Structure 1
Amino acid sequence: MHELTRDQARRIAVRAQLLDADRPGDVVEVAEQLGYLKIDPTAVIAPCEHTTLFSRIGWSYEAGQLKKAVEDDRLLFEFDGTFRPTSLLPLMLPEMRQWPRHEKSRAWMDANASFAREVVARLRAEGPLRAEQIPDTAAVERESADGWYGPNQVPRMLEALSRQGVVAVTRREGRMRVWDLAERVFPQDLPAYPDEEAARMLRERRLQAHGIAKENSPWTRVGDAGEPARVEGSKWKWRVDPEALAHADDEVDGRVAFLNPYDGMIADRPRIKEVFGFEYVLEQFKPKAQRLYGYFAHPILMGDRFVGLLDATVDKKQEVLRVDAIHELLPFEPEEYEMVRAELDELAEWLGLPIAEGR
């Protein structure tokens, strides 16, 4: 049982997410360590997949690097709203072959077995297609509980078949996904692992990405990976990546990072609150009058502490990065304020836009 201070736990978490001063060199290195890059079109500043990479790599990151890694080099692949390293695919395939597990999904797939075969046959005959180019011949419609899906069942079937490893996204045209047979998208010389071994290795990769996580957390799902740990002041049962322990006592350089609200670093909100004492609430879906920090405020990480939130927007009409507020959770020291402003300048340079203060 490892006994960790909160400082050590924070350092482990920050380094695991590549948010210390030792910046990674490229897109694939980031994806390999983080395990996934969330895809989200909410481009208040820039889409999540791009701000996630900028916050790690810095100004030298260009969007074309991600596209090349996914579509040309095939070192990353798109799955379930994320880009993931292809090295994870062999570990995911056993679970994908068992999908769906829930009764409603199984019943819908069974009722639409003919529809599924028609979708696969059309892709096989015609090659890559967008969902809109495939006829909807579903026998049974599945309603959208959250309003995310329209009545057309083709996108849902394509996503279902992708979860089974039958079809895959081969590229994007703008924000539109282009689908093909998985056998023509994924490498065919992947190693094969027994189901239990693949599941164990996948848990280890998740823990590697987070450094430290609550045992049996539904957010992080590391299970019994790594080694047990206690964190001072916490009653939780923790698992820690043994390789991360080597640098637990090393100070984290105080660089600043603006994190997209869908960044994997803050996806496990309970963990962030427990270790960092930072309770983040995304106000995107709140009425404007109830927002304290802004529609899509980006948490500001300085070293191993969350110190504020950035409320900024790319104003496409005026062609500026409009900074409405830098919310300080505790008053910044002059040096800290300068560090935040320097990172803001770098963000603006990366976007190729001047900064405008306020509305």
Structure 2
Amino acid sequence: MTHQLTRDQARRIAVRAQLLDAYRPSEVIEVAEQLGAIKIDPLATIAPAERTILWSRMGSAFETFQLTKAAESDRTLFEFDGAFRPVSLLPLMLPSMRRWPTRPSTREWLDANHRFRIEVLDRLRAEGPLLASDIPDTAEVARSPDGWSGSNQTVHMLDFLHRQGEIAIAAREGRHRRWDLAERVYPQNLPEFEYDEAERMLDERRLRAAGIAKQKSPWTRVGEAGEPAAVEGLRQKYRVDPEALAAIEEDEGGRTAFLSPYDGILFDRPRLRELFDFEYVLEQFKPQSQRRYGFFAHPILMGDRFVGLLEAEVDREHEALVVAAVHELLPFDAEEHDMVRAEIADLAQWLGVDVRAW
């Protein structure tokens, strides 16, 4: 049976799945378990992505130390591919990590640098956890700079060993990562899964985080997880999480939320356009003369609709949240203005700064 959904229902399922409805979780791990990934990014016009993503869900209940504690002390989170993830996902990811890499050029580089690989592992075993700068570059064959990494081959080797599940990020010092053997960072005695079973379970977790996704979306890969759904006015085939569908009548309503440009709900741009009628373009890489909403504008979600963008920046020298503009995609009424102002005040309070009038 194919579920017939209105766009309103589809949006509410997506918003609830991303913990952006009226309910506020109180624990970092609760957010991570539901979202599956909390993107890490150092750009902080307001706050780094990982902190903004958690604040958008938890509000004032979130304090920065909770994230560090979960990742480095409790080990309920682990860092992989630029995101914090719940440890419950690790057993499902390990079968794929053990098959990596699939690209021949990467395999060739690893084979050519076998001695370098062993030296890095031996140094971590003897001295870890270490920063990349603590590990000499003794590569026999170099990779060309890719625009993101420099010429230091140690950075590449650490990344590749991480992707293969042999080493892990034990801690951070600011934006610098400390590396160690995976066996000393990841929990032991994790359940074992075959590759196909693990991939199926990962599809289910991705759908749980999305609530609803196109069946063949390259942005939100859900495979055959969930149940088939059709959304009013859309030709595409969707899959819906049955638990999210069953809970739709329990919806307690929405709220106002400011979202990091790297928030997970924004990642699937086609779905964002089709369900929310929201065409989001991050203007970070546009020339200033071509920007309409600012360098790093944060989308404003109100209920299940994107209504505007917040253009703001923290001035640490003067301890102020400087709001350059609230861009209204549709004119706000008086109540909506009040809701946005209240959320700005809450944001400033969480940041520990004053709001500079705009």
Indicate the TM-score class for this superposition, using the shorter chain for normalisation. over 0.9
Aligned-partner Cα distance in 2 for 1:32–1:302:
24
Separation of aligned partners in 1, 2:338 and 2:229: 37
For the 8 Å contact 1:11–1:252, the answer to whether it is kept is: no
1:154-303 alignment runs, 5 A limit: 154-249=154-249, 251=251, 253-303=253-303
Cα deviation per residue 1:2-31 (whole Å; 9 max; x = unaligned)? 111000000000000000011111100000
Which deviations, in whole Å up to 9, do the C-alpha atoms of 1:186-230 show, x marking residues without a partner? 001111112111110011000000000011211111111111111
Q: Any idea what SS the aligned residue of 2:177 has?
A: strand
- For 1:63 and 1:260, the matched residues in 2 are separated by 16
State the shift of 1:252 in Å: 5.4
What are the within-5 Å matches in structure 2 for residues 89-108 of structure 1?
A: 89-108=90-109
User: In 2, are the aligned partners of 1:252 and 1:303 still within 8 Å (CA)?
Assistant: no
What SS does the corresponding residue of 2:323 show, helix, strand or coil? strand
**What's 1:321 paired with?**
321
Partner of 2:77: 76
Instruction: Tell me the amino acid that sits aligned with residue 148 of structure 1.
Output: W
Looking at structure 1, the residues matched to 342 and 327 of structure 2 have their Cα atoms a distance apart, in angstroms, of 16
Q: What are the Cα deviations for residues 62-94 of structure 1, in whole angstroms up to 9, with x where unaligned?
A: 000000000000000011111000000000000
Residues in 1 aligned to 2:190 and 2:19: alpha-carbon distance in whole angstroms: 27
Query: Please, what is the CA RMSD of the aligned residues?
Result: 1.0
User: Which whole-Å CA distance do the structure 2 matches of 1:252 and 1:105 have between them?
Assistant: 49
What displacement does 1:318 show?
A: 1.9
Aligned-partner Cα distance in 1 for 2:340–2:253 = 14
Distance 2:64 2:180 in 1: 23
The AA in structure 2 aligned to 1:174 is G
Matched to 1:67, the amino acid is T
Q: Which residue of structure 2 aligns with residue 112 of structure 1?
A: 113
8 Å contact kept, 2:312–2:322? yes
Mapped partners of 2:204, 2:345: distance in 1: 37
- CA pair 128-251 structure 1, distance change in 2 beyond 3 A: closer
Alpha-carbon distance in 2 for matches of 1:325, 1:230: 38
The one-letter amino acid paired with 2:238 is: W
Partners of 1:309 and 1:105 lie apart in 2 by 41
Give the distance between the partners of 1:233 and 1:112, measured in 2 at CA.
54
How big is the shift at 1:110? 1.4
1:224-272 CA-to-partner distances (Å, cap 9, x unmatched) read: 1111111111111111001111133455523100000001110111111
CA distance in 1, matches of 2:170, 2:39: 17
The DSSP-based 3-state class of the residue aligned with 2:283 is coil
CA distance in 2, matches of 1:113, 1:224: 39
Write the distance in 2 (CA, Å) between the matches of 1:250 and 1:275: 21
Is the CA contact (8 Å cut-off) linking 2:168 and 2:181 kept in structure 1? yes
Match of 1:58, SS state, is helix
Q: Which amino acid aligns with 1:219?
A: W
CA contact (8 A) 2:26 2:62 kept: no
Give, in whole Å, the separation in 2 of the partners of 1:270 and 1:251.
Answer: 25
Which amino acid letter does the alignment assign opposite residue 259 of structure 1?
L
Alignment check: 8 A CA contact 2:20 2:254 kept: no
Query: Among the aligned pairs, what percent are the same residue?
Result: 65
Q: Distance in 2 between matches of 1:251 and 1:188?
A: 39
Find the residue that maps to 2:349 and give its secondary structure.
helix
For 1:157-183, what per-residue CA distance to the aligned partner results, in whole angstroms no more than 9, with x for missing partners?
111100000000000011110000000
Does residue 144 of the first structure (1) align with residue 145 of the second (2)? yes
Partner of 2:305: 305
Question: Cα deviation per residue 1:83-118 (whole Å; 9 max; x = unaligned)?
Answer: 000000000000000000112211211111211111
Q: How many residues align?
A: 357
- Contact 1:170/1:180, CA 8 A, preserved across alignment: yes
The one-letter amino acid paired with 1:316 is R
Is the Cα contact below 8 Å between 1:77 and 1:83 reproduced in 2? yes
Contact kept, 8 Å, 2:23 with 2:252, in 1: the verdict is no
CA contact (8 A) 2:26 2:61 kept: no
Instruction: Show the counterpart of 1:54.
Output: 55
SS in 1 for 2:326: strand
1:355 aligns to what SS in structure 2?
strand
Task: Please say if residues 53 and 61 of structure 1, whose CA atoms lie closer than 8 Å, have aligned partners that are also in contact.
Answer: yes
- Maintained 8 Å contact 2:7/2:231: yes
Q: Distance in 2 between matches of 1:60 and 1:8?
A: 29
Which structure 2 residue ranges, 5 or more long, are not aligned? none
Secondary structure class of the residue paired with 2:327: strand
Conserved? CA contact 1:252–1:304, under 8 Å = no
Q: What is the distance in 2 between the residues matched to 1:221 and 1:139?
A: 38
Could you say which residue in structure 2 is the equivalent of 1:353? 353
Cα shift readout 1:118-163 (whole Å, capped 9, x = no counterpart):
1001000112100000000111211233x11111011111111000
Distance 1:99 1:237 in 2: 31
Q: Distance in 1 between matches of 2:214 and 2:56?
A: 25
